[in-house]
């Protein structure tokens, strides 16, 4: 309970300091630029920032604070409202009418802007929930193949951790996670005989297996929306850093997210049992990936993988959640 209260107090202090600092800046502008009159329009700036960062309630409170401040200035320093030596606002009549009208307009504007911000935020949250729901539905399709489902789940965990060590922002980490979850969805259209063949694949079978990348993108294209961002990642996750992968793309021409998934994908493939071989030890897989630095894999991504591995981050539970 105490840490939660302290966090709320810290947030309140941040909001208070933001609003107070803006009022100080406005006061300095009034003094330096137009000390003989109030620049009332400038008081909309704290309202805009408060609405954008904190929403309707804080924006309205900021507007009320600005109105109170200007009212106090009008009471204790009436000459602040003079222009060219002539009273722009009469002492008993238009003076308070104008202040009241200005303050009411400021409060209404703050309320409207804060409401707009909260509606946009709610809409984004709804889109995010819809997006996550679509991912879950697509994962149910993948669950027809238990190996592919578990493999995609593990790769998504590995890839997200590598992305975090690379310092990617939350949006890009989520794209990496989503692309990893769905990177093998095209295997739904690959023959089960090829997928589970214990012997070495023939040339034709290998070419058919390679087509799972394009088939996966075609399956996801009609969904559109946020999934559109991850299609280039899925399409390039078998491209190699030196250009020897499925496509001749190399280096920075390959999306960074795809280079991340390439490392995570190979790491899980090496450490997992396959129909034609047993999985190898994690430390052995680590050495193989380190040797592929600069050829098969992006050196920067490999360094992030090695850092995550050193901190025991490249481990996931066996059970799919």
pLDDT at 210 over 90: no
Position 92 scores a pLDDT of: 42
Question: Which is more confidently placed, 69 or 243?
Answer: 243
User: Cα 72 to the chain's mean position, in Å?
Assistant: 44
Q: What percent of the chain has pLDDT over 70?
A: 66
Q: How confident is the model at residue 266 (pLDDT cuts 50, 70, 90)?
A: very high
Q: Assess whether pLDDT exceeds 60 at residue 88.
A: no
Average pLDDT, the chain: 76
DSSP state of 281: P
User: pLDDT tens digit string along 132-184?
Assistant: 666 665 655 555 555 666 888 889 999 999 999 999 998 899 899 989 988 88
DSSP secondary structure string for all residues of 260-304: HHHHHHHHHHHHS-BTTBPPPPHHHHHHHHHHTBTTTB-HHHHHH
How far is Cα 25 from Cα 17, in angstroms, rounded to an integer? 12
* More confident call, 107 vs 1: 107
Closest CA to 44 of 57, 21, 63: 63
Query: Which domains are seen in the chain, by residue range?
Result: 2-122 (no CATH), 144-310 (1.10.3210.10)
Whole-prediction pTM value? 0.60
208 Cβ contact partners less than 8 Å away, ≥ 6 residues apart: 190, 191, 194
- Cα 321 to chain centroid distance, Å, stands at 22
């Amino acid at each position: 309970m105490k840490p939660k209260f302290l966090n709320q107090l810290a947030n309140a202090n941040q909001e208070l300091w933001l609003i107070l600092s803006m009022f100080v800046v406005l006061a300095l502008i009034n003094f330096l630029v137009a000390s003989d009159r109030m620049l009332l329009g400038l008081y909309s700036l704290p309202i805009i920032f408060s609405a954008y960062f904190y929403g309707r309630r804080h924006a309205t409170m900021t507007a009320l604070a600005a109105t109170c401040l200007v009212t106090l200035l009008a009471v204790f320093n009436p000459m602040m409202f003079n222009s060219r030596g002539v009273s722009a606002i009469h002492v008993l009549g238009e003076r308070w009418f104008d202040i009241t009208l200005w303050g009411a307009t400021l409060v209404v504007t703050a309320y409207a802007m804060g409401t707009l911000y909260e509606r946009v935020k709610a809409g984004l949250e709804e889109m995010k929930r819809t997006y996550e729901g679509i991912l879950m539905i697509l994962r149910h399709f993948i669950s027809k193949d238990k190996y592919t489902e578990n493999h995609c789940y593990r790769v998504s965990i590995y890839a997200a951790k590598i992305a975090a060590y690379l310092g990617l922002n939350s949006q890009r980490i989520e794209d990496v996670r989503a692309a990893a979850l769905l990177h093998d969805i095209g295997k739904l259209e690959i023959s089960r005989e090829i997928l589970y063949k214990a012997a070495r694949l023939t040339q034709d079978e290998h070419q058919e297996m390679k087509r799972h990348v394009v088939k996966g993108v075609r399956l996801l294209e009609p969904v559109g929306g946020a999934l559109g961002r991850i299609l280039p990642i899925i399409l390039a996750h078998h491209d190699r850093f030196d250009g020897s992968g499925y496509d001749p793309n190399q280096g920075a021409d390959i999306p960074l997210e795809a280079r991340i998934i390439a490392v995570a994908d190979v790491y899980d493939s090496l450490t997992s049992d396959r129909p034609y071989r047993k999985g190898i030890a994690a430390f052995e897989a680590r050495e193989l990936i380190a040797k592929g630095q600069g050829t098969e894999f992006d050196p920067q991504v490999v360094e992030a993988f090695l850092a995550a591995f050193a901190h025991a981050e490249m481990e996931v539970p066996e059970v799919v959640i």
